[in-house]
């Protein structure tokens, strides 16, 4: 062993001494020669080398080979990182476990590790004892094998460890403390006590426990806070809401993701749950976390009861404070869902509670429905009032919808016209649901309805005045109950609705539900029976066999075996005690300075031999490449490698090619009709051609519905041609021959329906057939173009009538020598038709020499640039030139449309006959 | 690389920047042909040169009556004398020209063809007659350019080329483009014959940058492009100085040869722009006036 690095066969390392020998050997071998093709070899012939010694192998190549061999030797020696360290020590061994919910998620791993450690201790012959701190008890040391058998019985508890009451065994012993990493009270004291007896080793796992805090509900949104022990990377946590579905089967009703910010320990999930769903939620759990803290139970606090308020005097116009429902509304609004509306509409909605304020008589149908609703478990609360007092309801016989029979008229005390003082409340009886509530002295009653004395009356009174007359009475009716407040719901008859007691009484009657945890004072005198309790893994189990818990300790006492986290049931109400309460904070465990926690699971021994052998192989590969590079033979290999590496980038480029950049100008050219001239390289001619396009565009704009945009000059080498319907190409002898790519573009353009107007500009001196200089150049330029057979413009060509009727196509010169695509040979003139039925489509080229550019060219202000002919005759010729231009563009844009249209009169003519 | 159409279009692109080149004709005596070749003196041609008063001995039919009617004197209208010149072009197409030291560079042959054809295009545009080596006798016109282009795209198998201006049209001009790395004896012989026929011209040497710098190291076997010559060395970098010295000697020898025959010598590297090379050639062909 060398520190944390060990070797399986260390003697192999002596092979390293052979390295210097290898160095000498390798130096002696010269590198292979490079073959180069070099024309200057003729000048080298006969030159002799100065020294006969060849180039040495470069030192870095030698070093590379040395390293490779060294890695090989060390690798074969079998190095191992973190070889298995062995426990030391003798004597008895106490294993202390925190055994709380914090260690529950990785409990199985902990136990497996502990089992291995105990086996180790057993081999050393040490007696051991295991003590879970959440259930400390007297332990005695026993052989390790015995203790190991009892290990499966040790389970984590849902409450914190009870460190104050740990009974330590006699004598000196070493201690292993398997901590859950959480801060618990009394840890330092216990650590000190254990240290006095022997060596204390603390083991912690690097886990980061997570916990849910109790859910809260506000404004329709359920908020579930999530905490974790220590800051870490950003972590999303799925929180599930679990409860019975309508069929009663427990399932995940909703889930959501709370995300811990990077470095944060707090997260929060906000869920919007519909009321029906929310009422069914029984607990929230963190998905995948098996721990009691990963579960938070809900109770009535999350639920809202639906309360219907019905007012006897719906039509009365009263101010708010006199409204019988005002105080009820104020009291119930924060904690209940209130329903308003006529009774016959509300009953089908099946509210939990219906409150009738001073309603005396109901229609028989309504009464029947209401009774059925009460029998099915509804809770009917009635308030007295002048109407009820004046009516004869329940006067002679008991009304099923009133708990007691009433005397006529009621009574009034303490008023101006009566004897006696206003009455105060009597303390609540023990069996009353109000038991334990403090009796407020401020409450005074000045009027009430009075119950008929009755054998059953005493059982039905749940609150009374200090003179013994009932204030609140209640009776069971079917599965439901009927409650009567003998006073009004407003402050007319008593000050009860003005007091805080009123709200508490409504809560006790479960009319309103709790929004906050009730305080100990509020719970005094109540007893709560556990319904379901959590174990350390967060599993729910039946709590029927456990003892009830007094209300005052339910929330204030620390959790323990006698007060387990779970769901507790009281009268008409369920409350949950969770592992963590609302303001709980998770803190990491604090250990005394002399105790250093060790990781429970030691890093596994890691053999490094394969790694080093792989490194040696890689180095030898690099050596191979380097040798090839020195020998100049790497080009082929490198090219192959580079080609392989470049496949992806080349694909990317191909995509770029597929989508060339589109410029503003191209968009403009494509969106409007745009005429264009081809750049010839002769500046003056290009300017003239551009001016000609401008003149023709202006003419089209003025005279026809074709409204071209500003013309453009295109470079056939670089520009996209497909945007332009017509290209004007003046021929000059200086024109350089286009590249093959440009010819390809031109052919594509012509095939795609474009037209090129070739102009040799020499019709004054040469006929096209003759070999003028420009005609030769044109022939030369146009040879690679895909141009069909040509013929001189026939007199019935559509160019003669596509807009104007023309027979000549003059420019600066007036030659008839204009060539267009030849008509098909089978085109014959039908008798009676003025024209032949010529080819469809547009002639791809028009070739002439009339120098149209000079005739069309205008400057920016629209004045002609060149003089044509003389005087009026010349202007007439210019006009005809423009007309030719218009016809040409019309022909390009409309094809043989005019050729068809001109048939129409002839057809009509024949039909008429 | 040697596709005829693309070579032609690129050569025209290089030549496009220059006006048609009118090669000078030193000796008019034997080799006069009518052409668009202004001689700055009166003679037969198309362009107007001057009106000259009628002198004793002029024929009456030469009188320009339109001009003479304006005054009392008779005038004769003279035109500028125009002649055409022959140009003998030889471009080395041997294997040694196919060398390029890196992928980014063109081969020497590529550059030589381009420059040779560019000069030919300029000359033909100027109405000159151009010959290519022994294969194409001097002719004018577009068709000759086609033939030259086609002939220039062929490669030769041998290691080093020997210049051949066989028709040796007397009193013409010549342009020889090569790397001149092979044996200089054929060149010396050719120059001797050319001088005897009154041919003046230009030797244009094209070299790859690697041939100027000799950037080689280590144990190396150098081979000529066709594989005919071999030289092995153990330390190439030690040879560098002596190689450069021999190259300088070769250049000096070329200069001596040329100046002895009244020729000019130019040097071009393939990593330089071809436009500047054509500019030099343009001046060289004009410089003989």
Q: Give the C-alpha distances (Å, rounded to integers) separating A368 from A310, A364, A483, A824, B266.
A: 17, 6, 18, 99, 124
- Residue A702: other Cβ atoms inside 10 A: 11
A256 and A373 together in one domain: no
pLDDT, tens digit, 9 for 90 and up, residues A536-562: 888 888 888 888 888 777 777 788 888
What CATH code is carried by the domain that includes residue A174? 3.40.50.410
Supply the DSSP string of A750-819, one letter for each residue. HHTT-EEEEE-S-TTT--TTS--HHHHHHHHHHTTS----EEEPPTT-GGGTSSS--S---SSS-----E
pLDDT(A264) > 80:
yes
Nearest CB among A33, A52, A739 relative to B221 is that of: A33
A408 and A422 together in one domain: yes
A688 and A726 together in one domain: yes
Q: Give the C-alpha distances (Å, rounded to integers) separating A778 from A759, A789, A848, B87.
A: 9, 16, 11, 27
Nearest CB among A32, A36, A44 relative to B239 is that of: A44
pLDDT(A882) > 90:
yes
Asked if A309 and A325 count as a contact pair (C-beta separation under 8 A), the reply is yes
A190 and A259 together in one domain: no
- What lies within 8 Å, CB to CB, of B200 at 6+ separation is B26, B173, B174, B262, B263, B288
Nearest CB among A32, A41, A52 relative to B222 is that of: A41
Which of A458, A476, A508 is the last residue in one of the domains? A508
* Alpha helices (runs of H) in chain B, residue ranges in sequence order: 4-15, 65-68, 108-125, 142-152, 185-196, 209-213, 236-261, 274-286
The partner residues of A567 in beta bridges, in order of sequence, read: A532, A576
- What was the pLDDT predicted at B59? 83
pLDDT, tens digit, 9 for 90 and up, residues B85-121: 788 889 888 888 888 888 888 888 888 888 888 888 7
- What was the pLDDT predicted at A33? 74
Chain B CB contacts of A780 under 8 Å are 142
* Interval A687-716 mean pLDDT: 90
- Residue A417: other Cβ atoms inside 10 A: 5
A832 and A709 together in one domain: yes
Q: Does residue A343 fall inside a structural domain?
A: yes
A786 pLDDT tier (thresholds 50, 70, 90)? confident
Q: Which residue has the higher pLDDT, A134 or B17?
A: A134
- Report B:57-86 residues touching A (Cβ under 8 A): none
B34 pLDDT tier (thresholds 50, 70, 90)? very low
Q: Which residue has the higher pLDDT, A6 or B165?
A: B165
B204 pLDDT tier (thresholds 50, 70, 90)? very high
* Alpha helices (runs of H) in A106-172, residue ranges in sequence order: 107-123, 144-150
Q: Does residue A647 fall inside a structural domain?
A: no
Which of A508, A530, A553 is the last residue in one of the domains? A508
> Which of B222, B233, B241, B254 is the best residue to mutate to test the A interface, defined by the most A CB atoms within 10 Å of its own CB?
B222
Which 3 state secondary structure label does DSSP give A646?
A: helix
Q: Give the C-alpha distances (Å, rounded to integers) separating A645 from A281, A640, A648, A649, A897.
A: 57, 9, 7, 8, 57
Which of A491, A508, A525 is the last residue in one of the domains? A508
pLDDT, tens digit, 9 for 90 and up, residues A555-592: 777 888 888 888 888 766 778 888 887 777 888 888 88
A652 pLDDT tier (thresholds 50, 70, 90)? very low
Q: Does residue A178 fall inside a structural domain?
A: yes
> Which of A32, A40, A46 is the best residue to mutate to test the B interface, defined by the most B CB atoms within 10 Å of its own CB?
A40
Q: CB contact, 8 Å: B280 with chain A? A: no
Lowest mean pLDDT among A17-26, A621-630, A904-913: A904-913
- Report B:120-179 residues touching A (Cβ under 8 A): 142, 160, 179
Shortest distance, CA B181 to any CA of chain A (angstroms): 6
Domains and CATH numbers, chain B: 4-28+85-286 (3.40.50), 34-83 (no CATH)
* Interval A118-141 mean pLDDT: 82
- What was the pLDDT predicted at A731? 87
A1 pLDDT tier (thresholds 50, 70, 90)? very low
Q: Does residue A81 fall inside a structural domain?
A: no
Q: Which residue has the higher pLDDT, A632 or A235?
A: A235
A478 and A331 together in one domain: yes
Spatial distance between the Cα atoms of A238 and A256, rounded to a whole number of angstroms: 6
Q: Does residue A704 fall inside a structural domain?
A: yes
A38 and B247 within 8 Å at the Cβ level: the answer is: no
A783 and A876 together in one domain: yes
Global model pTM greater than 0.80: no
> What is the percent of chain A where pLDDT is above 90?
4
Q: Give the C-alpha distances (Å, rounded to integers) separating B191 from A351, B92, B183, B196, B201.
A: 122, 16, 14, 8, 10
* Interval A364-393 mean pLDDT: 84
- What was the pLDDT predicted at B248? 92
B233 pLDDT tier (thresholds 50, 70, 90)? confident
Q: Does residue A657 fall inside a structural domain?
A: no
Shortest distance, CA B225 to any CA of chain A (angstroms): 6
pLDDT, tens digit, 9 for 90 and up, residues A70-121: 888 888 887 777 655 545 667 788 888 888 888 888 888 888 888 888 887 8
The total domain count for chain A is 4
Q: Does residue A755 fall inside a structural domain?
A: yes
A642 pLDDT tier (thresholds 50, 70, 90)? low
pLDDT(A315) > 50:
no
A630 and B99 within 8 Å at the Cβ level: the answer is: no
Short-list A285, A302, A282, A303, CA closest to A294: A285
- What was the pLDDT predicted at A749? 86
A290 and A193 together in one domain: no
A413 and A523 together in one domain: no
ipTM for the assembly: 0.72
A221 and A356 together in one domain: no
Q: Which residue has the higher pLDDT, B216 or A832?
A: B216
What CATH code is carried by the domain that includes residue A717? 3.40.50.12140
A163 and A232 together in one domain: no
* Interval A164-187 mean pLDDT: 81
Q: Does residue A649 fall inside a structural domain?
A: no
Shortest distance, CA A48 to any CA of chain B (angstroms): 8
Mean pLDDT taken over chain A: 80
pLDDT(B70) > 70:
yes
> What residue numbers bound the domain in which A252 lies?
214-302+517-580
- What was the pLDDT predicted at A650? 44
A197 and A280 together in one domain: no
Count of CB pairs separated by less than 8 Å, A with B: 119
């Amino acid at each position: 062993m060398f520190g944390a690095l060990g070797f399986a066969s260390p003697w192999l390392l002596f092979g390293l001494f052979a390295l210097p020998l290898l160095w000498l050997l390798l130096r002696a071998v010269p590198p292979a020669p490079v073959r180069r093709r070099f024309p200057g070899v003729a000048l080298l012939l006969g030159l002799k080398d100065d020294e006969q010694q060849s180039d040495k192998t470069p030192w870095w190549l030698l070093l590379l080979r040395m390293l490779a061999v060294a890695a090989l030797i060390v690798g074969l020696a079998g190095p191992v990182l973190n070889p298995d360290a062995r426990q030391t020590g003798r004597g008895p061994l106490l294993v202390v476990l925190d055994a709380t919910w914090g260690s529950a998620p990785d409990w199985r791993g902990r136990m497996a590790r502990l089992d291995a450690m105990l086996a180790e201790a057993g081999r050393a012959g040490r007696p051991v004892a295991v003590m879970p701190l959440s259930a400390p008890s007297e332990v005695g040391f026993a052989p390790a094998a015995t203790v190991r058998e009892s290990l499966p019985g040790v389970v984590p508890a849902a409450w914190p460890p009870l460190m104050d009451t740990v009974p330590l065994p006699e004598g000196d012993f070493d201690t292993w403390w398997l901590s859950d990493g959480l801060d618990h009270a009394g840890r330092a004291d216990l650590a000190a006590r254990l240290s006095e007896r022997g060596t204390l080793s603390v083991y912690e796992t690097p886990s980061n426990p997570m916990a849910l805090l109790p859910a809260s509900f506000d404004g329709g949104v359920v908020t579930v806070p999530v905490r974790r022990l220590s800051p870490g990377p950003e972590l999303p946590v799925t929180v599930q809401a679990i409860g019975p579905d309508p069929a009663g089967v427990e399932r995940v009703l909703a889930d959501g993701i709370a995300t811990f910010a990077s470095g944060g320990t707090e997260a929060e999930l906000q869920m919007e749950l519909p009321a029906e769903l929310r009422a069914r939620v029984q607990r929230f759990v963190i998905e995948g976390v098996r721990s009691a803290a990963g579960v938070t139970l809900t109770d009535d606090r999350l639920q809202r009861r639906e309360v219907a308020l019905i007012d006897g005097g719906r039509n009365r116009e009263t101010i708010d404070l006199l409204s019988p429902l005002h105080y009820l509304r104020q009291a119930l609004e924060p904690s209940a869902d209130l329903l308003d509306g006529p009774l016959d509409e509300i009953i089908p909605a099946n509210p939990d509670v219906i409150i009738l304020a001073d309603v005396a008589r109901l229609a028989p149908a309504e009464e029947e429905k209401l009774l059925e609703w009460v029998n099915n478990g509804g809770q009917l609360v009635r308030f007295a009032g002048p109407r009820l007092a004046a009516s004869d309801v329940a006067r002679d016989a008991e009304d099923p919808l009133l708990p007691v029979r009433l005397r006529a008229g009621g009574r009034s005390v303490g008023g101006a016209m009566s004897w006696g003082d206003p009455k105060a409340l009597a303390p609540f009886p023990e069996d009353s649901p109000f038991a334990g509530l403090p009796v407020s002295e401020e409450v005074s009653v000045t009027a009430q309805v009075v119950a008929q004395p009755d054998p059953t009356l005493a059982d039905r009174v749940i609150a009374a005045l200090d003179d013994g007359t009932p204030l609140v009475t209640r009776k069971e009716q079917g599965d439901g109950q009927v409650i009567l407040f003998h006073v009004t719901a407003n402050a007319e008859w008593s000050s009860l609705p003005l007091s805080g007691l009123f709200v508490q009484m409504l809560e006790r009657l479960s009319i309103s539900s709790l929004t906050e945890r009730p305080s100990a004072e509020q719970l005094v005198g109540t007893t709560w029976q556990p319904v379901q309790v959590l174990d350390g893994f967060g599993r729910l189990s039946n709590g029927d066999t456990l003892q009830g818990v007094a209300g005052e300790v339910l929330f204030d006492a620390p959790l323990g075996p006698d007060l387990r986290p779970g769901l507790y049931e009281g009268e008409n109400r369920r409350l949950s005690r969770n592992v963590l309460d609302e303001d709980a904070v998770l803190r990491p465990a604090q250990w005394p300075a002399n105790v250093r926690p060790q990781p429970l699971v030691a890093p596994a021994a890691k053999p490094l031999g394969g790694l080093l052998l792989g490194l040696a192989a890689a180095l030898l590969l690099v050596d191979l490449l380097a040798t090839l590079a020195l020998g100049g033979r790497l080009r082929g290999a490198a090219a192959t490698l580079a080609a392989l590496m470049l496949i992806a980038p080349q694909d990317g480029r191909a995509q770029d090619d597929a989508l060339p950049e589109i410029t503003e100008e191209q968009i403009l050219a494509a969106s409007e009709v745009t005429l264009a001239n081809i750049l010839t390289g002769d500046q003056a001619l290009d300017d003239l051609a551009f001016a000609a396009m401008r003149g023709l565009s202006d003419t089209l704009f003025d005279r026809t519905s074709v409204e071209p945009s500003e013309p453009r000059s295109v470079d056939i080498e670089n520009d996209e041609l497909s945007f332009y319907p017509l290209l004007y190409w003046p021929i000059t002898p200086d024109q350089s021959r286009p590249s093959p790519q440009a010819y390809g573009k031109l052919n594509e353009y012509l095939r795609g329906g474009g037209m090129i107007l070739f102009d040799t500009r020499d019709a004054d001196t040469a006929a096209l057939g003759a070999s003028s200089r420009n005609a030769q150049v044109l022939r030369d330029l146009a040879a690679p173009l895909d141009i069909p057979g040509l013929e001189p413009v026939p007199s019935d060509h559509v160019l003669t009538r596509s807009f104007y009727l023309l027979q000549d196509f003059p420019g600066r010169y007036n030659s008839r020598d204009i060539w267009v695509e030849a008509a098909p040979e089978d085109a014959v003139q039908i008798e009676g038709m003025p024209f032949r039925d010529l080819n469809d489509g547009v002639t791809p080229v028009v070739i002439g020499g009339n120098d149209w550019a000079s005739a069309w060219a205008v400057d920016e202000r629209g004045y002609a640039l060149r003089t044509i002919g003389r005087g009026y005759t010349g202007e007439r010729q210019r006009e005809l030139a423009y007309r030719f231009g218009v016809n040409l563009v019309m022909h390009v844009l409309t094809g043989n449309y005019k050729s068809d249209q001109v048939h129409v009169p002839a057809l009509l003519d024949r039909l008429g006959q | 690389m040697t596709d005829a159409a693309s070579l032609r279009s690129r050569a025209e692109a290089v030549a496009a920047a220059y006006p048609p080149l009118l090669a000078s004709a030193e000796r008019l005596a034997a080799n006069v042909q009518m052409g668009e070749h202004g001689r700055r003196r009166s003679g037969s041609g198309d362009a107007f040169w001057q009106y000259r008063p009628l002198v004793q001995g002029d024929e009456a039919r030469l009188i320009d009556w339109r001009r003479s009617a304006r005054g009392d004197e008779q005038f004769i209208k003279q035109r500028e004398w125009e002649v055409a010149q022959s140009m003998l072009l030889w471009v080395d197409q041997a294997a040694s020209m196919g060398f390029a030291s890196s992928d980014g560079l063109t081969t020497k042959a590529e550059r030589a063809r381009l420059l040779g054809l560019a000069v030919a295009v300029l000359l033909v545009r100027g109405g000159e007659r151009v010959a290519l080596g022994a294969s194409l006798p001097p002719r004018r016109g577009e068709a000759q350019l086609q033939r030259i282009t086609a002939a220039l795209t062929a490669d030769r198998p041998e290691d080093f080329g020997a210049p051949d201006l066989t028709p040796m049209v007397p009193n013409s001009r010549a342009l020889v483009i090569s790397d001149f790395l092979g044996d200089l004896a054929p060149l010396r012989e050719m120059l001797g014959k050319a001088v005897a026929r009154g041919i003046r011209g230009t030797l244009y040497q094209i070299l790859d940058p690697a041939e100027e710098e000799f950037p080689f190291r280590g144990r190396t076997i150098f081979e000529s492009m066709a594989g005919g010559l071999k030289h092995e060395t153990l330390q190439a970098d030690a040879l560098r100085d002596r190689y450069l010295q021999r190259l300088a000697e070769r250049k000096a020898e070329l200069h001596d040869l040329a100046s002895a025959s009244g020729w000019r010598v130019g040097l071009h590297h393939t990593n330089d722009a071809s436009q500047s090379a054509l500019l030099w050639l343009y001046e060289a062909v004009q410089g003989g006036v």
